[in-house]
Structure 1
Amino acid sequence: MLNELQNDRRLWGRYQFWAFTYNTGNPILYSGGLLTEGLRELVRGLDPEGKDPALKQMVIIGHSQGALIARG
C-alpha cells in the first residue's frame, strides 16, 4: 500500500509518508501506546517549539487484519 501511495504523483508535493511497524502479537492497547508516543517524539523532534501548523494536520492511515483504517 505504501509503495502505491508513494508512486501517486498527485501526492508527492503534498504529503510525506512514514511507516510504523509493530509486533502483531502485542495487545492492541500496547501497540497503540507505542504509536502515540512515537508520534509525540517525532513531532517534538521536528518542531520543538510547536509552530508548524502542518504537523497538526496529520493524516494517519492504518492497515490491520485486511481492513483499512483512516483518521484525519
Structure 2
Amino acid sequence: MRIVFGVLSLLVVLAIVSWQARTQVKAVSAPAVVPMPDGTTQRIHPKQIEQQYKKALEDAMNTARPRSADE
C-alpha cells in the first residue's frame, strides 16, 4: 500500500512539473512585442530577434578597422 501511494504521489508531482514546464515554454516561444519608432508595436518571433542579433554581430566583426600610424 505504501509503494502504491509513493508511486501515485510521484506521478502527481511529475504531472505538475511537466504542466508548469510546458506553460513556461509556451510563454518563452510566444512572439515578442517590439515598440516601433512611430509609436506602434510589432510582433517579432524570438528566432527573428536571434537572427537579427547574429547578423548585426557578424557585420560588426567583419567591418575593417581603420589602422593607426603605429601599426
* TM exceeding 0.5: no
TM-score by length of structure 2 reads 0.31
Q: Which has the larger radius of gyration?
A: 2
More relative contact order, 1 or 2 (CA 8 Å, 6+ apart): 2
TM-score by length of structure 1 reads 0.30
Query: Higher helix fraction: Structure 1 or Structure 2?
Result: 2
